Structure 1
Amino acid sequence: MNYEERDSFGIYATNPTIAAVDDTVPERNRGPGPYLMGADTLLGNDVVNTSNENLGDIKEIMLDMRTGHVSYAVLSFGGFLGMGEKLFAVPWDALKLDTVNKNFVLDASKDRLENAPGFDKNDWPDMADTTWEKGVHEFYGTQPYVGQRGN
């Protein structure tokens, strides 16, 4: 299921008023997306790699409540019908939204992802641990958000 199919509020629907006034607005410019997206509409979206191989889907989006930024998408990979699947915290900056195919793209092969730092759904890591955070960002070649962290 993709974000348009999960859009129960009509966030991504074409605004007929704008379309009637300005016929130069491309069909793909629907609602606030892709610059502002509803978090709930992104859950369950497929994630593929640059070779268009399926890597899994987004199970959760982790927000840093101290900064107000999205830190990670939790990606489910492997297994069958939820059995044996492994979860991965993928830095948000490592994912690119593909608005044509309505999925996310992660620049990682299946083999590389199998060796990524992952966890079991019943044993989540302490994502606030800076050592853990550093390791995840190093794996994906991204940088942690360095803005001010409040209380």
Structure 2
Amino acid sequence: MSSTEGQTIMGTDDLAGGGVGVDNIEASRVSGTAVYNTEGDHLGHIHDLVLGKRDGKVKYAIMSFGGFLGIGEEYHPLPWETLKYDERQGGYVVGITADQLREAPRYAADAAPDWDPEYGRRIDDYYRPAYL
């Protein structure tokens, strides 16, 4: 892959691995990608993605935040549309501070939520309209 004036160009070697284009990526490659705030501070990394069971669309990115060596780490579901990919940083950018994130809906690694509509509304209500 090469870059020309900020535009990513896919080479034939890039296409051989999965047939994705500039605007597409395999879900497995999103996991582990860094997440930054708009000031460039590293907040965490993408742990997982939540998909709509019926429509197959990405609904939330689960970002790991805090902790040390995996101890005390919390997971924050971020509405997918709050994340923008920044090629220069090689990660996603979200318009939220670390302090705001500490107040956001989250869960411990051993206490995954039920992904019912009420939980989704709670997440969406926290991030809208201030951050979307």
- Alignment TM-score, normalising by the size of structure 2: 0.83
Q: Give the Cα separation in 1 of the matches to 2:51 and 2:117.
A: 15
Determine which of 2, 24, 36 is the counterpart of 1:36: 24
1:78-105 C-alpha deviation (Å, 9 max, x unpaired):
0100001110111111111112221000
Determine which of 42, 46, 50 is the counterpart of 1:62: 50
Indicate whether 1:76 and 2:56 are aligned.
no
Q: Give the Cα separation in 1 of the matches to 2:95 and 2:7.
A: 28
Q: Give the Cα separation in 1 of the matches to 2:126 and 2:5.
A: 40
Indicate whether 1:139 and 2:119 are aligned.
no
* Distance change >3 Å, CA 109–CA 25, structure 1 → 2: closer
Q: Moved runs in structure 1, 4+ residues, more than 4 A?
A: 24-27
Report the alpha carbon displacement of residue 113 of structure 1 after superposing the two structures with TM: 0.2
- For structure 2, the residue ranges without an aligned partner over 5 or more in a row are 16-20
* Distance change >3 Å, CA 134–CA 26, structure 1 → 2: closer
Determine which of 69, 74, 88 is the counterpart of 2:76: 88
Any idea what SS the aligned residue of 1:28 has?
strand
Letter in 2 for 1:60: D
Determine which of 91, 104, 114 is the counterpart of 1:116: 104
**Matched residue, 1:51:** 39
**Matched residue, 2:18:** none
Letter in 2 for 1:73: A
Which structure's residues are more often strand, by fraction? 2
Letter in 2 for 1:139: Y
1:25-59 C-alpha deviation (Å, 9 max, x unpaired):
976222512x1111111110000000111110001
- Alignment TM-score, normalising by the size of structure 1: 0.73
Report the alpha carbon displacement of residue 141 of structure 1 after superposing the two structures with TM: 1.4
Question: How well do the aligned residues superpose, as a CA RMSD in angstroms?
Answer: 1.9
Report the structure number with the largest CA radius of gyration.
1
